[in-house]
Homo-oligomer: A and B are copies of this chain.
């Protein structure tokens, strides 16, 4: 029996495993890469489990993306310290934030308890926080040298995982990063369905998948209902 109550008519239960009171935070700042936030954000929000929460965190009530879009935040970066998962986005803003000691000092992350990851140049922030010491990592091609200058051995891979710390390189590699989170915190089934749901039709997604996809748009049932 799974942990999401005893309603036998709950279509979600076949996909449920974990996820109750599971909070993922995505950390943004000014001059972040739009797609790197929104690909992770959209995919993480496709998990339909009670207690599954995704938050966009920043220093202010909104941050301005690399293309000039004002994106509201749900909370302050300090919340990351109490999140189950903390993901750092990328963008030109990472070069400022990696040197911003006041900003960095607000993070007290614990890779013993939290899953921590980055997309593209977000790896610079993991390095600046001391989270990549003794570890290899990947990043975006244009930030490889900067990441190396911080003492990190950079691997030419889409995704590098070391226990609870993972880095992804290249915007679409966010699928690996988010898949890693969803598999660990929800289930392999949720991961598979969610990653399939964004494939091009005829290239991993078919019209016959419509009934399964419906699960991603179903209302979230409360725990125990």
A binding-site residues for B, Cβ under 8 Å: 33-35, 37-39, 41-43, 45, 56, 67, 69-72, 92, 138-142, 144, 154, 156-159, 168-173, 175-176, 197-210, 213-214, 217
Contact = CB atoms under 8 A, between A and B. Distances in A.
Contact of A201 (B45, B170, B198, B200): B170
Contacts of A207: 141, 144, 154, 156
A202 B158 contact: yes
Contact of A198 (B67, B172, B214): B172
B34 A214 contact: no
Interface of A is mostly: mixed
A206 B158 contact: no
A213 B141 contact: yes
A160 to B, nearest CB: 10
- State the copy count for this chain: 2
B142 A202 contact: no
A202 B156 contact: yes
Contacts of A200: 158-159, 168-170, 172-173, 175-176
A70 B72 contact: yes
A156 B208 CA distance: 10
